[in-house]
Amino acid sequence: MAVALCVGIAIYFSRSVLAADYSCSQIKNLYKESTCCGQPTKMLSSLGEGVSCGSMKTMYRHQQCCSRSGTSPAAPTSDDMVSAKLLYVKMKMDYTTNPDITSIGDLRAYLGDGKGTQPWAAVPGLRHKYFTYNSNTKTTCGVYVFFSQAQLDSYMDSELFKSAPTWPHVAELTYEVKDVMPGTEKCIEKTKWPHTPPTREDLTTGKMLIVDLTVNYTTGMKDLPAKKEDLYYAMDAGGYTGQFATLEGLRGKYFAYDDINDHVYGFYTFINEASLNQYMASDLFTQQGSAPHIAAVTYEVQDILEGTERTMDLPSWGRLMPTPATSTTETTASAPTRVDMVSAKLLYVKMKMDYTTNPDITSIGDLRGYLGDGKGTQPWAAVPGLRHKYFTYNSNTKTTCGVYVFFSQAQLDSYMDSELFKSAPTWPHVAELTYEVKDVMPGTEKCIEKTKWPHTPPTREDLTTGKMLIVDLTVNYTTGMKDLPAKKEDLYSAMDAGGYTGQFATLEGLRGKYFAYDDINDHVYGFYTFINEASLNQYMASDLFTQQGSAPHIAAVTYEVQDILEGTERTMDLPSWGLLV
């Protein structure tokens, strides 16, 4: 008897969220200045006089760009599959409890024209989500595929996921998390949808097939799997998954494994019912249960629902778990834009070290060894929404610092709510930990990621040869002088539209300078990275540096120079700019 399975496939990657307090005029300006893959956005044309401020903000928040254009997506790799996770959610419907959704017709209309699927288009780390329906069991399903476990965890900790069981039309909700099996990359995203990106009609013409295989590891027969690892080998290196690569009408098949029940699953998407029927009549489908190590086969066909077109093929593969050879390749990276800076956040963490309390880290030498050869920086390479993190050190104060740049406030919040961040104060070699969150100021895009590192991606030697300069400016808004800032907004205008930040664009040896603002103390910060000490010294001897404290609206200037530590090469230039808006 076929098991009733329902699907919604979602693979994750972050999108930036618009600051709630932006005015409508500011939103319009952001529309005018934003681009998609180097081309002006077309969203502004839809902003007629009758569009409300709230609608403009919502449209901007969910604006999608080249991430769904299909023009140059990265092909999925085996490494992508190792990292990916599949979430399978099933919701038993009750059409008697919600006056707005009393039938499948109401549900289809809500998801489609009612834009009920829109919130998932902005879920960080989602590749795609299929909204599907089993009419026999009145079950709505979601099959999500994530780029990583961390992004799946972040979503499952969100209000969007947690609130689903309370929706009045949901009688019961269950979910299962599955590993995506290596070899899947050979048979997904093959047959193209009729349109790019796919339309609603393209998706609702398609069909989802879900197959559940119960595996028997006790056959004792030669060349048949006796454990999970044997099965993984047969699927990937053994070539089984490749048989589906050229299957007519197959958009893709995800091979998934559930460690809880030792079952193997196939999540197929066909572009139409005819191609599904052709496959189900073939030996490839009908004979799969005849293998001695397959104890049982169940399956179900499901409809793909309206609104799924909003959650298809979101950010491309190869973004979150890149190999060192491609993670920082500057030839294909998107240049940062003003819109990126509006969304970005900078986190500055300072840890006062105590080398007497941890027998494994009794000196800066031990710390450098742990972060570098000991791979102590590795966990941060997979943090969702992190563009880069510099691990730095102030030898005068014995303080280890982290300078993080996140694409959005939401992604920063997610990291700060993680165990990776929360556990840091408990590390035995940390005597005291403090942190500061700062806005990245528009105009910063003109002077970051300029001078190239000697190698692409940068090596450990490249990074440790570099230097970090952090400047803290106390601002005086009470000068009363014409053309000098009297409030934060005046300062922002001077930095950006006034052209001040552009002076740093061609500074010799400057990899980048982040202009940051701290609302708590009304200070402006400059986080500079130089590729070597000589270029740092040259800048610090220049008028551009020495005269910055002479302006009447600058009450005080302090600064410190820090070393860049080993292991930072793992957390440099991770996902590219331009993917989140």
pLDDT above 70 for 226: yes
How far is residue 186's CA from residue 183's CA, in Å, rounded to a whole number? Answer: 6
Which of 51-65, 473-487, 495-509 is least confident? Answer: 51-65
Per-residue model confidence (pLDDT) at position 26:
43
Residue 476: closest CA among 492, 491, 495: 491
Per residue in 435-445, pLDDT tens? 999 999 999 99
Per-residue model confidence (pLDDT) at position 196:
85
What mean pLDDT, rounded, does the chain reach?
84
Per residue in 58-72, pLDDT tens? 333 333 333 333 344
Tell me what percent of the residues of the chain surpass a pLDDT of 70. Answer: 83
Per-residue model confidence (pLDDT) at position 321:
38
For the residues 221-229, what does the mean pLDDT come to?
A: 85
pLDDT above 50 for 134: yes
pLDDT band at 25 (very low <50, low <70, confident <90, very high): very low
End-to-end Cα spacing for the chain:
46
How far is residue 210's CA from residue 253's CA, in Å, rounded to a whole number? Answer: 9
- 211 to each of 137, 267, 428, how far by Cα in Å? 17, 7, 49
How far is residue 345's CA from residue 441's CA, in Å, rounded to a whole number? Answer: 9
For the residues 81-100, what does the mean pLDDT come to?
A: 94
For the residues 51-63, what does the mean pLDDT come to?
A: 39
CB-side neighbour CA atoms (13 Å) of 420: 17
For the residues 548-564, what does the mean pLDDT come to?
A: 95
Per-residue model confidence (pLDDT) at position 463:
97
For the residues 144-154, what does the mean pLDDT come to?
A: 92
Per residue in 270-323, pLDDT tens? 999 999 999 999 999 999 889 899 999 999 999 999 999 999 988 788 654 333
Sign of CA dihedral 151, 157, 160, 164: positive
pLDDT band at 238 (very low <50, low <70, confident <90, very high): low
pLDDT above 80 for 421: yes
pLDDT above 90 for 53: no
pLDDT above 50 for 390: yes
pLDDT above 60 for 165: yes
pLDDT above 50 for 47: no
Sign of CA dihedral 311, 315, 318, 322: negative
Residue with tokens 């710390």: 367
Per-residue model confidence (pLDDT) at position 488:
87
CB 398 within 8 A of CB 352: yes
Which amino acid does the sequence have at 192? K
Per-residue model confidence (pLDDT) at position 8:
31
> pTM for the full model?
0.50
Burial of 175 (0-12, 13-18, 19+ CB in 10 A): middle
For the residues 146-161, what does the mean pLDDT come to?
A: 92
Per-residue model confidence (pLDDT) at position 232:
80
Domains belonging to the chain, first-starting first, are 24-68 (no CATH), 78-311 (3.30.70.100), 338-571 (3.30.70.100)
24-33 helix and 53-61 helix, angle to the nearest 10 degrees? 40
Per residue in 319-352, pLDDT tens? 543 333 333 333 346 789 888 898 899 999 999 9
How far is residue 126's CA from residue 12's CA, in Å, rounded to a whole number? Answer: 2
pLDDT band at 502 (very low <50, low <70, confident <90, very high): confident
Beta strands in 233-289 (DSSP E): 250-258, 263-270
Per-residue model confidence (pLDDT) at position 423:
93
Residue 270: closest CA among 212, 194, 196: 194
CB 529 within 8 A of CB 458: no
